[in-house]
Amino acid sequence: MSCKFDKARRGVLGAVLCGLSACAVASVPAAEVGEPASRAALASSQAEKSVLLGAARTDSGRLVSVGERGLVLLSDDSGAHWRQAVVPVSVTLTAVRFAGQQGVAVGHAGVVLTSGDGGETWVQRLDGRRAAEVALRDAQASKDEQLISSAQLLVDEGPDKPFLDAAIGADGQLLVVGAYGMAFASPDMGQSWNSWSGRLDNPTGLHLYAVRQRGQALLVAGERGLVLSSVDAGASFKRLEVPYQGSLFTAELPGDGDIVVAGLKGSLLRSRDGGASWQRLDAADASSFTASTLGRDGSLYLVTQAGHVLGLQRDGLVQLSSQAMPSLNGILPVNPQSVVLLSNLGLTTLQLNAGTEEQP
């Protein structure tokens, strides 16, 4: 695997890092990303209007959102009011997940943070330098020359690569994935780490954009139609054959054997048999899907680059709001009638249509 920036891939990755907006990303020297990874996030009076990229809910009902410059915002009243948490880094955070009161957030410079109190406080558990050291240690132990070469490149290039998503199990198991095939697992909420890149059928180091967990099932989705599935909590992974070769930015596991992946140009695919067969359920306007989530009742919500808020029902997509919105980075259901939306303009609470409108 080569971690050198390819121009086309960099453009797609840059769009993801910026919420699929029209901004560019450049290869940032390690010296420039190292400082924000060790500098606490500054308090901001405009935090709710900042670029926000990921959100999750704790079992107490608290809403947690993350974004640029190390922002972590908390709401205990269903999104009516938000306050900023104290965070030990000021790099952009790209995703956050919770299981009970335990949470994990990931971001640029290979940063991983964990919380044990519903997002009130955070501890840094990993950064790009340490991740590269772990990758090299595990690669050398495997004696796999390709893994060793890739890991050495991570060490040489420094902590310039982002994590893009994370999964957290009920017992504190973590799996974080990101650019250029980075995948690291922890059995103990980030106190120790192992590289899982060697477990994944991803020899060219394709970007890994999304990871989801449901019981013992794990799903990873990424660049060029890459979908990897595990049914044994990550002990082994199988590469699924998907009838789509574009980037997949989000994924969900709505039920046993039920897989949904979505990404560029409105591409959405669903399998109800663990990936053996697929159904295309593409968006009508071909705008890229940017994020998705499952509600507490199992409802599946998606948002797009064009600002559309959609639900996936058995036979296809339905439009959940006709209100004009900016390009959306994330969605978090508050209740069956409302959602919190994340964009480059901040947080918005949206009331959903009383009735749903099926897409043509």
What are the structural domain ranges in the chain?
Answer: 7-295, 296-360
Contact present, 228 and 239 (Cβ < 8 Å): yes
Which residues of the chain, if any, have pLDDT below 70? 1-34, 354-360
**Cα separation, 254 vs 257, whole angstroms:** 8
pLDDT confidence of residue 18: 59
pLDDT confidence of residue 134: 99
pLDDT confidence of residue 315: 76
pLDDT confidence of residue 14: 61
pLDDT confidence of residue 32: 45
SS3 255: strand
DSSP string, 211-254: EEEETTEEEEEEGGG-EEEESSTTSS-EEPP-S--S-EEEEEEE
User: How many C-beta atoms lie closer than 10 Å to residue 120's C-beta?
Assistant: 16
CATH classification (class only), 7-295: mainly beta
Could you tell me which of 114, 228, 208 has the C-alpha nearest to residue 162? Answer: 208
pLDDT confidence of residue 301: 98
Rg (CA), the chain: 19
The structure's pTM equals 0.91
pLDDT confidence of residue 2: 39
H or E element in which residue 141 lies: helix 128-142
Residue 341 contacts by C-beta under 8 Å, 6 or more apart in sequence?
A: 303, 309, 325, 328, 330, 331, 347, 348, 349, 350
pLDDT confidence of residue 356: 45
Burial class (CB in 10 A: 0-12, 13-18, 19+), 344: buried
pLDDT confidence of residue 36: 84
